[in-house]
Homo-oligomer: A and B are copies of this chain.
Amino acid sequence: MNWKHIVVAGGGVLGSQIAFQSAYSGYDVTIWLRSEASIERARPKLERLKAIYLDTLEKMKTDPRAYARGLSDRTDLSDEEIDLLKEYVEEAYRHLHLTTSYEDAFSNADFVIETIAEDPEQKIAFYKKASQYLKDEAILATNSSTMLPSTFAPYTNRADKYLALHFANEIWRNNTAEVMGHEGTDQKAYDQVVEFAKSIHMVPLCLKKEQPGYILNSMLVPFLSAAEMLLATGVADAKTIDQTWMLGTGAPAGPFRILDIVGLTTAYNIVIMHPDAKNPETVQGKIANMLKSYIDEGKTGINAGEGFYKYK
């Protein structure tokens, strides 16, 4: 793999993080955005990431707990080495190229990561257009959390070089990348993407076949649903349930602490997809109502300062 030009399509929460992390790791990165307005919205996100990266690195000089796995494989960096990494952060920020031009973005790309809205129509339109500009050998990945690459492969004009590369939020700390092909993905393209993930300090987590929810959410969703059921049906309170999980498994956080991080709105959107959720007598209906009562009070999780727990 001798990729140089990486393109991230979309500048949202994850898109900006993937772009910044790739630039920090030495790639020549372009962020493709739909409009000038999108460019204006992306810039402060990148500035914030620069500040977080610099701040985290500086803290790593004195506090071992500040160590972020995505910033370096090593935990024993000297102050001089950290200062060098801070220069990489500055350089990454300076060199990030933002554009609305398909030709500018895609004609020279070795690898494209699509992070646009979770809307099939928008994704299909994007793939159809962008693929016209891509080199034959360019590899294309989606960061979609909820959709499968097989859904979009036919529109990419390179089904064998198309797959999913799924990042976690706060990529510089939570440095996992789930790699998932569809049936037609070429093994060589898959392996190149695994190498790319490693090269930007990610731990690649390899799926051998398509799976909705990848690996993590395939376990997290039923686990969190079970916890929501216990609370919504009045078996125990959130604190007791969390304490049980932590004492029983040694985990640092229980399900309701995790739900506060995921966000209660996301949890609500998952449960209302269940056909039973409209009936308040069913377990799913009780879970939906329980979550809605928190959301209606503005208690949507850690970002709001309160969810199942208070954070301020």
CA of A175 to CA of B248 in the docked complex: distance in angstroms?
A: 9
Contact partner of A247 among B176, B234, B248, B253, CB < 8 A? B176
Q: Does A295 contact B (CB under 8 A)?
A: no
- Residues in A228-256 with C-beta less than 8 Å from chain B: 229-230, 233-237, 240-241, 243-245, 247-253, 255
Q: Does A64 contact B (CB under 8 A)?
A: no
How many whole Å from A182's CB to the nearest CB in chain B?
Answer: 13
Contacts of A252 in B (CB 8 A): 250-251
How many whole Å from A64's CB to the nearest CB in chain B?
Answer: 16
Interface segment out of the listed A22-30, A218-226, A296-304: A218-226
Q: Does A178 contact B (CB under 8 A)?
A: yes
Indicate how many identical chains form the complex.
2
Extra pairs beyond A176-B248, A251-B251 (11, CB < 8 Å): A168-B248, A203-B243, A205-B240, A208-B236, A216-B244, A219-B223, A219-B241, A249-B251, A249-B253, A249-B258, A250-B251
Q: Taking beta carbons and an 8 Å cutoff, which residues of A are in contact with B?
A: 168, 174-176, 178, 203, 205-209, 211, 215-216, 218-223, 225-227, 229-230, 233-237, 240-241, 243-245, 247-253, 255, 258
Q: Which 9 A-B pairs have the closest CB atoms?
A: A223-B223, A215-B244, A251-B251, A222-B222, A216-B248, A211-B235, A219-B226, A222-B226, A250-B252
